[in-house]
Amino acid sequence: MEGLQDSKDREKPLGIDLFCEVIDNYGDAGVCWRLARQLASERHCHVRLWIDRLPVLQKICPGIDAGLERQEVDQVDICVWKPDMMPADIGQVPDVVIEGFGTRLPDSYLNQMAARAVKPVWINLEYLSAESWVDSTHLMKSPHPRLPLTKYFYFPGFTGKTGGLIREAGLVESAVGFQSDRRNAMAFLSSLGVACREEQFIVSLFCYPLAPVQQLLETLSWSEQPVLCLIPEGTASQDVGRFIHQQPKAGTCFQDGALTVQILPVIEQRLYDRLLWASDLNFVRGEDSFVRAQWAGRPFVWHIYPQEENAHLDKLDAFMALYQQGLMEEEQQAFRRFWKQWNSCAGQGGFTESWAGFRAILPELKQYAGIWRKKLTEQPDLATGLVRFVDSLR
């Protein structure tokens, strides 16, 4: 779509309503907040973010007042979304309406969309997947059965046939600069209240409760190299609590053998990005931290959001197949074995062996992570792709 008019060249900013229903806590809110900010700051759009659980967003954006129904933060208008919204609550429907992850819009809002003389571009922003069918489904349209409206399915993804990934301007350059000197990591962690030694292997751990966390921590405690494991408060609290023999809360520090565990408060997104940059290995979950770990250019392990009947495992397999294409066969085997182990139920045997195989290939994975990151930058970022697609329909 080269040559399309950029949003910053319009006579007036492109108006966008972005709806976010929080299901996976920080994941849904995190993706929508990053996208809203980038559309406003870099694409010069007027963005209203409608979100149903404002306190969740406040955790990763402390500048938000969870007691206000409407406010502006980082050039984004933030509105509390209620299912029974009336036309007066909505105001004027803008040029573009985005449903975050299949959110169902209120009937009152749909009716106002249909009442516009020029119908808004209606986009369903889908969940991220590396499955092959995504390439052919991206930008598929679906007419509303009752109203004169058409919805377009927009898929983030890892190939040029998808909508790309959220990537702010200068993100990769900032990460590379930060990682060029280990002292940057030490200084950053110190600013979070973490006493870190240069010889420690730094692990960040963010996962769902079903991951074999206790097995990981026990295994790390036997490591030959000193390990520092940084865990955001609330992450797998029961498993972490059993290991450290107390209720984990921000500031808690515990040592067992070679392992030091420190519980961090939930931090804002920009700081979390730097935590990923500072770590030697990142355990991440869901979608937002999963993507940010790839931009960090460090080895990572993904805990995918569990779904009924293990439907999520197809998505896991699809990404592993795509990601590991640049690895040697033995590296692929070690990589797949540990990722599978991490996404299986806690208590499955062979954890120590699968970790040992994965730990052995971390030097190769570190080099490869940089190659993969560079490959991802060859396609447009998600916000740019969205705006170009809207322009192609107008």
| Paired residues of 204 in beta bridges | 230, 282
Q: At what angle do helices 351-360 and 362-376 cross, to 10 degrees?
A: 70
Residue 250 in tokens:
């921000």
CB 80 within 8 A of CB 54: yes
Q: At 100, give phi and psi (nearest 5°).
A: -75, 115
6 is catalytic: no
Q: How far apart are CA 129 and CA 134, in angstroms?
A: 7
Q: If you search the block for the tokens 């994975």, which residue do you land on? A: 365
- Both tokens of residue 351? 């954890």
Longest dimension (CA), the chain: 68
Active site residue 233: no
- List of long-range contacts for 384-389, beta carbons under 8 Å, 24+ apart: 384/43, 384/164, 385/163, 385/164, 386/39, 386/98, 386/123, 386/154, 386/163, 387/6, 387/7, 387/14, 387/39, 387/43, 387/45, 388/1, 388/4, 389/1, 389/123, 389/139, 389/152, 389/154, 389/163
With tokens 């920009």, the residue in question is 270
The catalytic position among 28, 95, 288, 331 is 28
Query: Cα dist. 99→81, 290, 332 in Å?
Result: 12, 21, 37
Closest CA to 328 of 369, 368, 283: 368
What are the Cα distances from residue 186, in Å, to 202, 252, 273, 318? 10, 19, 15, 36
Determine contact, residues 228/194, Cβ cutoff 8 Å.
yes
Structure tokens at 375: 């490959």
* Catalytic site residue from 24, 95, 239, 287: 287
Q: How far is 334 from 327, CA to CA, in rounded Å? A: 10
Q: Taking the CA of residue 364 as centre, how many other CA atoms within 13 Å lie in the half-sphere pointing to its CB?
A: 15
Active site residues: 28, 287
